[in-house]
Structure 1
Amino acid sequence: MSLSPDDLSALRNRLLAFCYQLLASPFEAEDAVQDTMERAWRARKYRLTQGKTPAASWLVSREAGSGSSLSN
């Protein structure tokens, strides 16, 4: 599965909206998105070999389950 820059931009915007809803702060939402995108980048080899979950669902589930970025 390969994502184009346009795909990543759309996912990032969707994730930013999700984080803003949860955190009610544009600055904290941006930080949470950056943390999540970094985790996704580091996990890319694993995710590409699994192929079970679409990228958008996986990113949102990572952010929703992240205790560090949502609890601050």
Structure 2
Amino acid sequence: MTSTDERQARMYDITCVGAAAEPSTVAVAAGDVAAVIEQADRDGIRVLVRPYARRHGEQETVMTGKGDQQR
């Protein structure tokens, strides 16, 4: 496995559904998945979790603490 593969293996896409008109998806580090799910449960938001897969032509963007994005 290359370092890029390892990084992607530790990331998950989390999609919040039902919270807004359009579902929103963010890439989350594996260590933060449980916290995101717990917060969504407290807020009554349904989430879908799946392994992260970079879309064709997408630049890598990662969510950091407090909603900031880092490339």
Please state which band the TM-score falls in when normalised by the shorter chain. Answer: 0.3 to 0.5
If the length of structure 2 is used for normalisation, what is the TM-score? 0.34
Name the structure with the higher strand share.
2
User: Larger C-alpha radius of gyration, 1 or 2?
Assistant: 2
Name the structure with the higher helix share.
1
If the length of structure 1 is used for normalisation, what is the TM-score? 0.34
